[in-house]
Structure 1
Amino acid sequence: MTVAIVLSSVLLALVLALALMLPSINSPTVPFGVRVPAQHAGDPTVIRQTRIYRRRILLSGFAAGGICVVIYAMTAETLLLPLSVLVLVGLWYGCFFLANHEIRAAKAAGGWYKDLHQGIAVDTELRTNPPRFPWLWLAPALIITLATVVIGLTSYPTMPGILAVHHGAKGVPDRLAAKSIGTAFSLVFVQIGVTALLVGIAAAIFRSRPDIDPAHPVASARWHRQYMSLSAKALLGLAAMIDLGMLGSSLLMWTGTVTSWAPLVVVLPILAAVLVAIVVLARNNRERDDAEGNTGLTHRDDDKYWRGGLFYINREDHTLLVPRRFGLGWTLNFGNPRAAMLLAGVAALLGLLITLRFDG
């Protein structure tokens, strides 16, 4: 069994498990991205659509596995990992949209928000007494990047004249380039770029708008602060693991090592970090019950700002990031012009990194 098959199978299993778990770990008042009052969270339509969604997801997993077999039979191993995962994610969101549509229809037909007192709760202390950013968690990424630079500078004189700048799915170098500072240290630029990007996203999370439950505002605000801190730590930990993968790949390039397990040097640390982040965030993705009394208010029905329950578009909201309705973490406010600027910046960074890898 090749490395590509192993990695594809592990990643597919991870994505499939997350897709199956999400209805249970997301807030019960936003089933499949639809805002519903708490008293309708257990509506028969919601329960039925959850059951149908999971059945469809399992069938999608078999379909994605079949795609893997076809791709492997055609010997295109380099496409095995990205295509198999993309197929599963595409089918996953198709299942999500079907459930979203049915629950929205039931909500409208049943008048679930009729005669309810809707409200908005705000944590005013987020600006005057914000939670501390976990800067200490940035240290591993910085140390690994600095170590990569130091090792690279030390070993540069003894590096081979021709460097393997990319390895295929079987670990065999499939792209070579003459030794130069740009070539030898191309992955250092990747480390710097990725670390800066993830730190920026983590900082933006601390300035995001919380989705506080007006029925239990104190407990909800407390949970939001803790979840922000956990999310930032998860991102900084992911940055460190990506940097570690880049360090391992750099060592293979600098020493001219050829081995079938070369792809694992990059992928395993990242997969491990992603798995830990998913487990930690999933365990803390829902507000915990406490003794706080119910104010009698319910969340404002704001479905009009969520296209398909996934994409938030509100030009009147100046926040860049908002909590996801289905999934873990945050999503962009696509009605904010800064979202387009951020996406353009990420695209430019990726283009630069790809250029460095190909032309270095």
Structure 2
Amino acid sequence: MTVIIMTVIILFLTGMQAGTPYFVKRTVVFGVTIPEGHTEDSKLAQYKKYYMTGTLLTGLTSAITFIVLSLNDSTEATIVGSGLALQFFTLLISMILYVVFHTKTAKQKQDNEWGATLKQIRVVDLSSRSADEMLPTIYFTLPMTITIGLIIYTIINYEHLPHLIPTHWGPTGAPDAFSEKNPFTAVALLLILLVMQGMMSAINYFTKKSGIKLNATNKNKSKIQQLTFRKYTSWFLFLTTLLTTLLLAFFQLTIIHEEIGGTLLLITAPLGFLVISLVGAAIYAYKIGQGGARIQIDLEEQTPQGITDVDEDRYWKAGVFYVNKNDPSIFVEKRFGVGWTINLGNPIGYFILFGPIAVILAIAFFL
């Protein structure tokens, strides 16, 4: 089962990475702003194909290598270790390929002086904010309420807990690490979950406050795409939080009531979570795309001539890291990938993202 799970994850990562150039906006290629009229340049199309081919070959090679290694050494620790190593290797090669083609794309743009004669403008539509359908942050209190309720339930049933508290579960759903029972270890899993839920809630709140950037040459179309992207991104974040809550709540209940579920449910629960999460992410990326780029809008719109969007390449380091102290947005849309990234020029973003991670690591350290 572990071999299957690891293989699926490697192939999933490969597919998502390979398809990324086709999930993002046409006007952003490998993290570089490309003005309308040059987005279909043959060189850029060639770079995308080379990146996709290189990533696919790397991922397939990693998957085959992993299967061969697993057949030769079937110990659980070796399988998990080699699987994680090959996942990292696949991501590393895709990152190297990205940097190569980011550099080539930036040079192509500079050498051909794309956009040099166009007037750069920023489109602001105040009505967009009122039409935003991102979920209110109050929705994220539902998973948090479930967690707090389980903490109380665990305290009430403290005397019935086993002497050794599971602190980690393997790919098959069976616990493989334990700590001696005490008030802290009894609820540690739920404390980690509560911190994660708080982080997800904060991400939703601050992405909802982030700026809505419209395309200067396709204002109405990009408005619909942006609003749809924001709505479904918010729902995807909420459903991911809810699924994570249900999975970890199930594990907590198995600590209190060891007779719950049995071996079959312990296997199918995490496997079901994995399948739903991966399928959901794939559908989301393919159907929505970054910034709603893959949403087809049948809309006749007059395209203004001689203008282009404001070129913000100077704020994007390697097209991945956004650093802009003048932008009040804490989270901004990724340029390569689907979703959001933090504005490294705003210190609040560090606190929202890295603060919870530090707390989770601290909890794990004392287990």
TM bucket (normalised to shorter chain) is: 0.7 to 0.9
Residue 157 of structure 1 is matched in structure 2 by 159
What does residue range 67-216 of structure 1 map to in structure 2 within 5 Å?
68-69=66-67, 72=70, 73=72, 75=75, 76-125=78-127, 131=133, 133-135=135-137, 137-138=139-140, 141-142=143-144, 144-145=146-147, 148-149=150-151, 152-153=154-155, 155-169=157-171, 173-216=175-218
C-alpha distance in structure 2 between counterparts of 1:114 and 1:179, whole Å: 67
* Partner deviation per Cα, 1:276-310 (whole Å, 9 max, x = no partner): 14413531221544223223321122222212211
8 Å CA contact retained: 1:165, 1:253: no
The DSSP-based 3-state class of the residue aligned with 1:60 is helix
C-alpha distance in structure 2 between counterparts of 1:82 and 1:251, whole Å: 28
Pick which of 279-288 and 88-97 moved more: 279-288
Deviation at residue 61 of structure 1 after TM alignment: 0.7
Residue 312 of structure 2 is matched in structure 1 by 302
Partner residue of 1:18 out of 3, 8, 16: 16
8 Å CA contact retained: 1:100, 1:309: yes
Deviation at residue 49 of structure 1 after TM alignment: 0.7
The DSSP-based 3-state class of the residue aligned with 2:302 is coil
* Partner deviation per Cα, 1:60-112 (whole Å, 9 max, x = no partner): 11332255247644542332443232221111212222221211111111111
Deviation at residue 144 of structure 1 after TM alignment: 4.1
8 Å CA contact retained: 1:248, 1:266: no
**Kindly tell me: are residues 214 and 345 of structure 1, through their superposed partners in 2, closer, same or farther at Cα, counting changes over 3 Å?**
same
C-alpha distance in structure 1 between counterparts of 2:155 and 2:349, whole Å: 38
C-alpha distance in structure 2 between counterparts of 1:48 and 1:138, whole Å: 43
C-alpha distance in structure 2 between counterparts of 1:316 and 1:136, whole Å: 29
Instruction: Indicate yes or no: 2:356 matched with 1:346.
Output: yes
C-alpha distance in structure 1 between counterparts of 2:69 and 2:101, whole Å: 30
TM-score by length of 1: 0.87
Residue 25 of structure 2 is matched in structure 1 by 27
Question: Percent sequence identity over matched residues?
Answer: 20
C-alpha distance in structure 1 between counterparts of 2:171 and 2:119, whole Å: 57
C-alpha distance in structure 1 between counterparts of 2:226 and 2:347, whole Å: 25
Deviation at residue 143 of structure 1 after TM alignment: 5.6
Pick which of 130-139 and 77-86 moved more: 130-139
Residue 7 of structure 2 is matched in structure 1 by 9
8 Å CA contact retained: 1:203, 1:232: no
Partner residue of 2:238 out of 233, 236, 239: 236
**Kindly tell me: are residues 132 and 53 of structure 1, through their superposed partners in 2, closer, same or farther at Cα, counting changes over 3 Å?**
closer
* Partner deviation per Cα, 1:135-193 (whole Å, 9 max, x = no partner): 57536524643563465356443332333332345655433333333222222112211
CA RMSD of aligned residues (A): 2.8
* Partner deviation per Cα, 1:34-66 (whole Å, 9 max, x = no partner): 111111111011111111111101121133225
Partner residue of 2:334 out of 311, 324, 335: 324
Give unpaired runs (5+ residues) of structure 2.
Answer: none
8 Å CA contact retained: 2:147, 2:190: yes
8 Å CA contact retained: 1:16, 1:57: yes
The DSSP-based 3-state class of the residue aligned with 2:165 is strand
8 Å CA contact retained: 1:119, 1:300: yes
Partner residue of 1:272 out of 272, 276, 287: 276
The DSSP-based 3-state class of the residue aligned with 2:60 is helix
Give aligned pairs, total: 355
Residue 333 of structure 1 is matched in structure 2 by 343
8 Å CA contact retained: 1:144, 1:240: no
C-alpha distance in structure 2 between counterparts of 1:132 and 1:42, whole Å: 32
**Kindly tell me: are residues 130 and 59 of structure 1, through their superposed partners in 2, closer, same or farther at Cα, counting changes over 3 Å?**
closer
Look up the equivalent residue of 1:292 and give its one-letter code.
E
C-alpha distance in structure 1 between counterparts of 2:147 and 2:87, whole Å: 29
C-alpha distance in structure 2 between counterparts of 1:262 and 1:68, whole Å: 25
Task: Name segments (4+ residues, structure 1) moved above 6 Å.
Answer: none
Residue 315 of structure 1 is matched in structure 2 by 325
C-alpha distance in structure 1 between counterparts of 2:264 and 2:81, whole Å: 17
8 Å CA contact retained: 1:321, 1:333: yes
What does residue range 36-51 of structure 1 map to in structure 2 within 5 Å?
36-51=34-49
Look up the equivalent residue of 2:162 and give its one-letter code.
P
Instruction: Indicate yes or no: 2:293 matched with 1:283.
Output: no
Residue 57 of structure 2 is matched in structure 1 by 59
8 Å CA contact retained: 1:36, 1:112: yes
